[in-house]
Amino acid sequence: MELFLHQLLAGIATGGIYACMALAVVMIYQAIDHFNFAQGEMAMFSTYIAWQLMQWGFPYWLAFTATVVISFIGGALIERALFKPIRTAPILSQIVVFIALFSILNSLAGFIWDYTIKSFPSPFPAEPILGNRLISAHDLGMIGVTLLLLALLYLHFRYTRLGLAMRAAAANPDSARLVGIRVGWMVALGWGMASAIGAVAGMMIAPIVFLEPNMMLSILLYGLAGAVVGGLNSPGGAVFGGFAVGVTENLAGTFVPVVGRELKLTIALVLIVCVLMLRPAGLFGRAAVSRV
Amino acid sequence: MPSLGLSLEAWQRFALIGAILVAAALPLLVKNFTVFQLTLVMVYAIAILGLNLLTGINGQFSLGHSAFYAIGAYTAAIMMDRFDASYLLTLPAAGIICFVAGFLFGLPALRLEGLYLALATFALAVATPQLFKLSLIERWTGGVQGIVIQKPDAPFGLPLSQDQWLYYFTLAVVLVMFWAARNLVASRTGRALMAIRDNPLAAAAMGINTAVYKSLAFAVSALYTGVAGALGAIVIQFVAPDSFTFFLAVSFLVGLVVGGVGSIPGALIGGLFVLFVPNIAEAISKGLAWAVYGVILILVIYIMPKGAAGLVRLLARRFLRGLSSRS
């Protein structure tokens, strides 16, 4: 029972990270209708920036804030420079540009900061809270940060003019343009926000997996899976999906005999595909209705 | 648009015959390693062609074709290593097994569209290396170590090196596969597949059984990729789980887009790109090789949004128009 509880909590904790990534994925998906395959590498790059700032002597939270701002600007710039010129190109061409961005960021990070594994500090106290050995303070903090982000996003999209404009630009660009919304800038804004969320996810996961250019590979995969399970047009669903994937992965790895350890990833993915078979638009997604 | 008294079709036929003659002469002119590389280009071209039948012709995404490539490669390796089968037999066997595997995967995938299908196939690509590493089936797959196989010699005492013989053998397979793909696309089935790509609802309304055709497209596409995998295993003489990562699936996709989505000859250009451009990038800068690769990729997309096939078509049309206006 204690093992079960332990694995469950560990699953929820890693799920928090997947949830952050899933959230970032859904943000860009809302803005441009595509997966961003380079999302993980963007988050990794942001984390390196934070690490570099701390090496230069910045205190944690200052480096954290600066990184979020830099990532926001960087994300918006990437959209302006790389994706605006090909906005009307076929989807496959855009996916290839995502792949290109992925390999550029990965290679650059390795070139600038080399491939040695670096440790990254956690902002939360090292000793367990209340003598509770089941879950570390960092894990708890991570879950808290994820939920806080989700709440902020909800408020932004639900109650601010800018959030409304962004939703309008995504839902119906032509009509949005007619009422005076600058759709191009809304897309760039979506990229910026996704990049900033990714940066937070990166800085939260780095103390656990350590910092190196390939740290985000499997995390992005789980993040995508979470986003799809939850539904690509539902940020709340994406967060739920992220947690669900984290828990499933941990429990399957521990309790499915023989193949559990070797096939952790595979089992999680099979489950995801099964969910999709039952609900093709994700658990919380709305299915698009097609009319003839 | 006649020019120099020849139609566009005649020009195309000349180009094709010329290309085959050049391809047949090449291995006698260059060194063995280049012959080996060119053979691999053709192997990738077959795999990219398979992906093209699915994506370019039928409009379904796949990020998981490395899985079918792996199944084909392992089929060949296991048959040759454990059962002493002739390499000639491995190709049809790999094709049939992958056809079935593709059909079985295509059936449930019917419910998924666009990005959701992309994710399901992505999962397939990531899971495959793990499955081949599984200790339960290590007896056949060789586990993490993989399997080493022998290169076949040229038959009938032909005075060719092993690499040269494999080149001609692959060339023959390529010709058959490309010819079959061309005929498939031009057939009634091919038109049904394209109708589903362009407008699934209209296609269904016209009485096309979209479910059957989409699964079939998956199966045929997997067959092509599986044959390519078997050939690839014979050419490289080695299979191991880590040769069939997601990166391979991405390479196929890159080759498809660079060559030209929906274009059959484009697959060859895609194969050339996939094999040689990473080497070129490395020659430009060792430390930043993949960054250079990424930049090249972006430039290619900006310069040729419709792939190399689109560019060639455009240039050919200009050239012919120039000829006809002069005469």
pLDDT value at position A255?
73
**SS3 of residue B3 by DSSP:** strand
pLDDT of B238 reads 87
The amino acid sitting at A91 is I
Pick the closest to residue B121 from A94, A234, A224 (CA basis): A224
Ordered alpha helix ranges (H), B150-209: 162-186, 188-198, 200-205
Confidence at A62, pLDDT banded by 50, 70, 90: very high
A51, pLDDT greater than 90: yes
Residues 6+ apart with CB under 8 A from A196: A68, A69, A71, A72, A75
By three-state DSSP, how is residue A263 classified?
coil
Average pLDDT, chain B: 84
pTM exceeding the 0.90 threshold for the entire prediction: no
User: CB distance from A55 to chain B under 8 Å?
Assistant: no
3-state per-residue secondary structure call for A101-118: HHHHHHHHHHHHHCCCCE
pLDDT for position A290 = 55
Q: Which residue has the higher pLDDT, A266 or B294?
A: B294
Around B129, how many Cα atoms within 13 Å sit in the side-chain half-sphere? 18
Interval A186-200: pLDDT, tens:
888 888 988 998 899
Residue A114, φ and ψ in degrees, nearest 5: 50, 175
For residue A40, pLDDT beyond 90: no
Q: Please give the average per-residue pLDDT across A93-104, as a whole number.
A: 87
Among A163, A144, A145, A166, smallest CA distance to A153 is for A163
pLDDT for A70: 95
pLDDT exceeds 70 at position A258: no
Q: Which residues in chain B land under pLDDT 50?
A: 1-2
pLDDT bin (cut points 50, 70, 90) of residue A261 is low
Nearest-CA distance B257 → chain A (Å): 6
| Residue-wise pLDDT tens digits, B55-98 | 888 888 888 899 999 999 999 888 888 887 788 888 999 999 99
pLDDT at B80: 85
Give per-residue pLDDT as tens, B274-326: 888 888 888 888 888 888 888 888 888 888 877 777 787 788 778 777 777 66
Residues 68-87 of A with CB under 8 A from B: 82, 85-86
pLDDT of residue A257: 66
Specify the pLDDT at position B6: 67
Chain A environment of B248 (Cβ under 8 Å): none
pLDDT value, residue B209:
86
* Residues on chain A touching B256 (C-beta within 8 angstroms): 92
Q: What is the pLDDT of residue A73?
A: 95
User: Quick one: average pLDDT of A77-84?
Assistant: 88
**Testing the interface with B: which of A28, A42, A91, A96 to mutate, by most B Cβ within 10 A?**
A96
How many CB pairs below 8 A link A and B? Answer: 124
| Residue contact B302–A86, C-beta within 8 A | yes
CA-based nearest residue to B74, from B258, B233, B266 = B233
Of A92, A272, A280, the CB nearest to B123: A272
In the prediction, which pLDDT does B5 show? 63
The predicted complex's ipTM stands at 0.80
More reliable by pLDDT, A37 or B37:
B37
CA distance B61 to B211: 15
Which pair of structure tokens corresponds to residue A156? 């932004």
DSSP B58: T
Position A83 scores a pLDDT of 84
Residue with tokens 């990794």: A44
Distances (CA, A) of A116 to A60, A112, A210, A212: 22, 11, 10, 7
Cβ of B298 and A100 within 8 Å? yes
> Which SS3 state, helix, strand or coil, does residue B147 take?
strand
